[in-house]
Amino acid sequence: DSAVAAAREAARSAASLDELRAIVESFEGCALKATASRTVFEDGVRDARVMFVGEAPGREEDMEGRPFVGKSGQLLDRMLASVGLDRKTNAYIANIIPWRPPGNRTPTPQEIAICEPFVRRQIELKAPDLLVCVGAPSTETLLGLKGIMKVRGRLMGFESGGRTIQAIATLHPAYLLRSPIAKRQAWRDMLTIRKTLGL
């Protein structure tokens, strides 16, 4: 509880994404930081209208210090490209957890609770027009919704910094690699994203 409170206080004090990044990199309240190689804070362009939030870094992300760079990331890049998005020009990407859990295990509820204030402040400071929760953990943490198959593809409101932004959940690329048949559902989600952004 004290670590969660410390994270909330630290996150609130950040006035910019650069400040928040420095705060996250120096934060010692989450044990995952001790086993990770580096902090994985963001990738893409900060003035993008859309922000994608995944779960946690894997091995490749931990080595490179950027989210979604392994096999899942390569699939995500292809998904983005299919609707005119690209992390170099008009997409911004982050994770709920900025440090790789050992052995790519699922983050614990306590680890998510500690890191959640940071990603919420990141969304607030980034102020996207559209928030895309990539996968079930991101959807549950940020939107408070369980059962991604039921909620994916639906536009909803997300309260952030005194404003309501549009949000949508979609399937995680790692899941799509394991279950290729679900790619058609993810494609429909991407079309909704494209339409919402007017691409």
Quickly state the pLDDT bin for 10 (edges 50, 70, 90): very high
pLDDT, tens digit, 9 for 90 and up, residues 24-79: 999 999 999 999 999 999 999 999 999 999 999 999 999 999 999 999 999 999 99
Q: In Å, what is the CA distance from 49 to each residue of 31, 45, 87, 128, 193?
A: 33, 9, 11, 5, 11
**What is the percentage of the chain residues whose pLDDT exceeds 90?**
97
Q: What is the value of pTM for the model shown?
A: 0.96
Which domains can be identified in the chain, with CATH numbers?
2-197 (3.40.470.10)
Of 117, 197, 120, 188, give the one whose Cα is nearest residue 160: 120
Whether residue 199 has pLDDT greater than 90: no
pLDDT, tens digit, 9 for 90 and up, residues 121-144: 999 999 999 999 999 999 999 999
